[in-house]
Amino acid sequence: MSNYFSKLPNLLYLDRGNKEIRTYARAKNLFRRIKVREINDDQITNFELYNVLDGERPDNVAEKFYNDPNLDWVVLLANNILNVQSEWPLDNRSLEKYLDEKYGDDLFKVAHYESLEVANSTGEVIFPKGVIVPQGYSFTYFDVGTNQYQTVVEMTYGVTNNQIEQRRQNKLRAIRILKPEYVDLVEQELEEMMKYKEGTSQYQGKYLKMVDDIRINL
């Protein structure tokens, strides 16, 4: 991510440690970031889907697709990942340790119940699979095919803590990769979006602004 941080603009913020002299310290504006726009049908061909392998880091993926580990920020940006610790899949060993510490003997305990798919006599799905419902939930509906009311029982199944965590990890493993031919365009857009706008008293330059309170939304 070092290459990404080098592109962040700077701040001059008031040093509150010195109450006698009004001085400013320089820092990178970590509040400044861009987010990949929602992908529409015209843009979907700019990306390809990829499942992160066990133990792969963002820089490994960047090396694999772009021949440059320093472009790991492109991988993260394409997936709107801010916190690698919580938004990137764990390797198998780390996951096992995490699950043991979090759940202990309750790892395979049922956490909640979900619905099975329910379809009427014509094959139309009228209740989807995977909805969180109470244990033993039943569902009554009017079947237009038979012209009768039908009640479905035994339509739930238990989902364990382990299954929930595995689902989450599988979701994190499924990322999108910006195709290499578009990386230069993203770098250009990033540079443009990192510029500050002129016209305020805070403006000191394209990549520098002055603030009295670094905690404000920048």
Q: In terms of Cα–Cα distance, which of 114, 108, 118, 117 is closest to 158?
A: 114
Predicted pLDDT of residue 23: 62
Q: Alpha helices of 84-129 — where are they, by DSSP H?
A: 84-87, 92-103
Predicted pLDDT of residue 20: 58
Render the burial of 97-134: b for 16+ CB within 10 Å, e for the rest.
Answer: eebeeebeeeeeeebebbbbebebeeeeeebeeeeebe
Mean pLDDT of the chain: 81
- For residue 83, name the pLDDT band (cuts at 50, 70, 90): confident
Burial of residue 60 (CB within 10 Å: 0-12, 13-18, 19+) is: middle
Q: From CA 3, how far away is CA 11, in angstroms rounded?
A: 18
Q: Which two tokens stand for residue 74?
A: 């492109």
Predicted pLDDT of residue 18: 56
Percent of the chain scoring above 70 in pLDDT:
66
Q: From CA 98, how far away is CA 90, in angstroms rounded?
A: 9
Percent of the chain scoring above 90 in pLDDT:
57
Q: From CA 210, how far away is CA 213, in angstroms rounded?
A: 9
pLDDT digits (tens, 9 = 90+) for 108-163: 999 999 999 999 999 999 999 999 999 999 999 999 999 999 999 999 999 999 99
- Going from the C-alpha of 122 to that of each of 118, 144, 151, the distances in angstroms are 11, 8, 16
The answer to whether residues 176 and 50 touch, using CB atoms and an 8 Å cutoff, is yes
Whether the per-residue pLDDT at 97 is higher than 60: the answer is yes
Whether the per-residue pLDDT at 10 is higher than 60: the answer is no
